[in-house]
Copies of this chain bind each other. A is one copy, B any other.
């Protein structure tokens, strides 16, 4: 049987409450007694049972991190930074990874009831949710890098992200102004309220603003596998584009990972990057800087987004500041994967 606080108490010849005080660092205790107890605790390797502890305590210091699409390196980095920040706030992170067909809010609700969460951070997934369900969470939550619709009628209010519409428009406009017209799109989730939808809108707006028509044969969507943002999916989509659109001169991908897969497909197709086909990614992950060719991409300011997310969440937890929508500045980073297109040569 595992050692309990009772055993420790017996060993030290004191009461359980004294042991509890020693462990929790309570001030009302004789330093000598504490020393004695802590020594035994060390020796036995005793760790208080977390269940009993959190059962007794009305509040925990758990922050849940609900991630949809954990394989995406962009999130890996985000998770890393967020975990660090949460720890610095003296809290523990419960990392939960949800499949693309699961409802993240439902899962969060379960976790909140189970674990008495202090707050929730959603990473990835949709930005539209059932208001009732969100209310039911009963704890502060922030949507991070999930995008949001600009109409503002959404019940989700705590939200940190780049302006996905603007960012995608920036990428597409850059390609158009570089002389590209036949710009393929490797998209994801344009039919659901996600960043995919927003970025798709940005793509369309860029065309419209330049007085150009959109050819729907240029648009592909990935949806294979449980994870959508994979190199394999980017590879497959690019293959299709290359086969069906002979005069393709550029591809805009909704993530760097997709872009890398696309690059490989272009190379395999016997074409050169960027001479024959330009590629633009999205996210600005570390890998993009080392990929050959270095990717031209839209950089999301990970560290700033993480910091803002944490600040907002803990502001809400402490009741100081309400949740709000914060747009961070995305940035076009020029790499080696883009060059002028046919109309600028």
Contact = CB atoms under 8 A, between A and B. Distances in A.
Interface of A: 2-3, 45-55, 70-71, 73, 76-77, 80, 83, 95, 97, 109-110, 113-116, 133, 136, 138, 230-232, 235, 260-261, 263-264, 267, 286-287, 289-294
Given A114-B50, A138-B2, A109 B45 contact: yes
A231 B263 contact: no
Contacts of A292: 263-264, 267, 291-293
A265 to B, nearest CB: 9
Decide if the interface of chain A is mainly helix, strand, loop or mixed: helix
A311 B261 CA distance: 34
A50 B290 contact: no
B49 A52 contact: no
30 contacts: A2-B113, A3-B113, A45-B109, A45-B133, A45-B136, A48-B113, A48-B114, A49-B55, A49-B113, A51-B51, A51-B52, A51-B114, A51-B115, A51-B116, A52-B55, A70-B80, A71-B77, A71-B80, A83-B97, A95-B95, A95-B97, A231-B289, A260-B290, A260-B291, A264-B290, A264-B291, A264-B292, A264-B294, A291-B291, A292-B292
A55 B195 CA distance: 41
A290 B237 CA distance: 14
A47 B113 contact: yes
Contacts of A267: 292
A45 to B, nearest CB: 6
A46 B95 contact: no
Contacts of A54: 51
Contact of A114 (B49, B97, B110, B293): B49
A293 B113 CA distance: 49
A68 to B, nearest CB: 14
Contacts of A114: 47-51
B2 A287 contact: no
Contacts of A49: 55, 113-114, 116
B235 A113 contact: no
B290 A46 contact: no
A38 to B, nearest CB: 15
Contacts of A70: 76, 80
Q: Which 5 A-B pairs have the closest CB atoms?
A: A47-B113, A50-B114, A51-B55, A231-B290, A264-B290
Contacts of A231: 286-287, 289-290
A271 to B, nearest CB: 12
B260 A113 contact: no
Nearest to A265: B290
